[in-house]
Amino acid sequence: AAGPGFRVRFDVETASGPGSFTVRVEENWAPIGAKRFRELVDSSYFDNTRFFRVIPSFMVQFGLSGDPKVSAQWDPIQDDPVTQSNKPGYITFAKTGAPNSRTTQLFINYVDNARLDGMGFAPFGEVEGEGMKVVKQIFNCGEKPNQGMIKSQGNAYLDKDFPQLSKILSAKVVPDAADAGEEKDL
């Protein structure tokens, strides 16, 4: 049975049009990361942001605000011990090689990235059900968008130079499926 956690629904615009996927956060997996993710979602941080690093054989990365002032407000958090492997569909904070360097950037694993486990990348949740079908439709921009430019200019830079990027329209906490009645595929 699942431990304490919560679910976040991402409404997105991909190469295939509008879609959504839901992440189930398991707070016991990486409590500090789970808490930061909840704070970001509750502050509408991810709304109107872009998926700016996409490597189909690896992962999709997001979590830089469209407003540079907003990204800069979030200080790094302490590392969590890695208790889960970076399996396909698992969501994890990005970080540098330095300890305690997680801030707001996240990635969703496209493949089994167990090699990241020993580098301190601690998954804190997973994409539910058929959600990865939507995640795999995120526009493949490779690593072309420059993170320094995103940090300094936000969506102004991305929308001008990379208009095809997939977008997060909103990310909101939603009730547990058990509370809301199980969703059935039609």
- The C-alpha atoms of residue 61 and residue 50 are separated, in whole angstroms, by 9
Give the HSE-up count for residue 150: Cα atoms under 13 Å, Cβ half-sphere: 22
Q: Is 186 helix (H, G, I), strand (E, B) or coil?
A: coil
Q: What is the pLDDT along the chain (186 residues), one digit of tens a residue?
A: 468 999 999 999 998 999 999 999 999 999 999 999 999 999 999 999 999 999 999 999 999 999 999 999 999 999 999 999 999 999 999 999 999 999 999 999 999 999 999 999 999 999 999 999 999 999 999 999 999 999 999 999 999 999 999 999 999 999 876 544 444 454
Longest dimension (CA), the chain: 46
Query: CA 185: distance to chain centroid?
Result: 24
